[in-house]
Structure 1
Amino acid sequence: MPSSRLERVEESETIKIANAANKMKSEGIDIISFSLGEPDFNTPDHICKAAADAMYRGDTHYAPSTGIPELREAIANKLQTENKLEVTSDDVLVTPGAKQAIFEVMMSVLDDNDEAILSDPSWVSYSPCIKFAGANPVWAPTDPDNGFMPYGIEELITNKTKLIVVNSPCNPTGGVFDNEMLKTVADLAVDHDLLVLSDEIYEKIIYDKKHISMGSLDGMHERTITVNGFSKAYAMTGWRLGYVTAIPELMKGFKKIHSHSVSSATTFAQFGGVAALEGPQEPVNDMLKEFKARRDILINGLNTIGIKCKRPDGAFYAFADVSEFGDGDAVAEKLLQDAHVAVTPGSAFGLSGKDFVRISYATSQERIKQALQRIEETLL
């Protein structure tokens, strides 16, 4: 019989939609997929070469559990210079993807019946990770007219609250926390003796604002757990390479779970990570320019059709209000079956998403234009 803990957790809706779209593709149907959060660009050549060189010179054995020294040093340097964090290489743990880091954090810092505060909507895997740890997610409402910023967080804090999750830029909304919003969360964390998990995986995909790391704010060094990775900025989703940093007292728990579960990230992939951080950044800038162009085509097109959608400040997602045409679940199903366009229903990300769908514009401008035409023909 399956473990009872599995009953706490729902199936990943993004994976479910992607699987349905892939099944239709295998049947010869031309599906335009906006479902998964995966850049459609190839990993830059210099990163691939670094990993291949490592493989062929024999770096195919176990790596140190916390990560190869070269990568941990490169990550620490990056966090010091770009994010203004007080970090050394000893404070870095390399993981097989940022998702693994988040899972290890939740399992390490949360006890049974603790509470962790999420913005509603939030990325689909935060809540399951919290539930796996035996804790309970508590949802803070957000304001779509104010970039989906959360509000009323203080009213949700109880004696069971342990953690606040910040994801900026945000999946699924593309919202970016400004200094004022971050300071509000920081003040609450200090006043109520809470930890903050800052998921910064989309930090380099910001269009008209500036990324600020939670851990750089006054009083937040000891309270912030920073998670990041290579998947989004460097188009390295299949490499499964992420990292986490925090104070030593917290890192000890992450490392214990890490060593008894995944052991380490793939050795030669880590040399690719070094090349990503220390090599040319022009590919990142080029991808950002293309994402911005795609964003503008998509948002303008959606609003022209009559689908209300705010222009996201970061990431590569549009969180579109489809309430004029039905709830998000019904519209997502209709678009998949009739328009052959795969989007994710907003309900996958929280109760407030029921009238929304998430559209990942990690596909070409041509395909976005084709999808907009199909959507218009199907809904109007």
Structure 2
Amino acid sequence: MPQPGLTARREFLHPRIVGVGTAVSPTSYSQQEVLDAFAITDPRVRSVFLNSAIERRHLTLPAVDATGARVAEPQGDLLAKHKQLAITMGADALRACLKRAGADLADLRHLCCVTSTGFLTPGLSALLIRELGIDRHCSRSDIVGMGCNAGLNALGVVSGWAAAHPGELAVVLCTEACSAAYAMDSTMRTAVVNSLFGDGAGAVALLAGERTGERAGEPTGEQAGAAEAEEGPRLLKFASCIIPEAIGAMRYDWDRDLARFSFFLDPQIPYVVGAHAEIVVDRLLAGTGLRRSDISHWLVHSGGKKVIDAVGVNLGLTRYDMRHTTGVLRDYGNVSSGSFLFSYERLLDEGVTQPGEFGVLMTMGPGSTLETALVQW
């Protein structure tokens, strides 16, 4: 028999989102500017760029040679670019997240870093701990190669860590240097990928229970105000759905012709993802007594115009429901695993959430996989 009060104890230990922060690389480009930079004239390729529902993306393009053409970047240079951008953007997003949480680097007890745009050993978590002077006893984890859905994969894992360590602050940091994962050959084969992704990092802080005073200290002044203002929703439940028959539809693998790693997106993937959106959301809400109409806030990964449309149609979502998803796509493109955190930050900045309201977070990526989380303010 369950112990009296066990359910309430578990409820209390549902981690709460207590801060969020985002960052991008320094330079943004319009789609037309990217086309001009690589002298792309094929009308079919240009149409993909200009009809993407993206206005600007933050990118770190290769240098130009004496003729003004963009120089080729070998894979070694791309890996170095990934390391530099991922650390710089990651540090900025982490600091912004902790500030909104009313915390600082000394409060951090677990750091989980997520990326799919490069491979490093030691991982980004170790590099950031050294770079920022974080306590050497901070536990860490790295999730590499899971793609655009990985932010919610990490959130599920780290929410378990937070629940097991009440009062201790954990951060999930998604940092994606998509400029380091390009294979620009001006063909239709790479057009969709090259028209879509941008550089970006997003961080989210989790806490179960009250912050441990003896370690973190009680926030005062501006910190106390920030902590109260940014008190966010509890993470109630996660649900996943993998589509094994579409395992190769989204991938990042070696391109022998270009001698580098390259993203591939199957043109049919928006419809495959859309067709499975209902399945995973119904699983998420099963046993909760909630219907889709009870969800006040939807934060869906900005995977691309067709993906967003397919998910919206299959779930019966309105343009208002998807406003942050489409707004992030418009202003940043697809920033991979951290995209949903850009949307969450915009929702917070609106100040429209009310206590008791429910929200659904949704990401999708290689596998092919859909990840969801149910939250309550």
Q: Structure 1 or 2: larger helix share? A: 1
Instruction: Tell whether the structures are fold-level matches, with TM greater than 0.5.
Output: no
TM-score (norm 1): 0.25
More strand by share: 2
The normalised TM-score by structure 2 is: 0.26
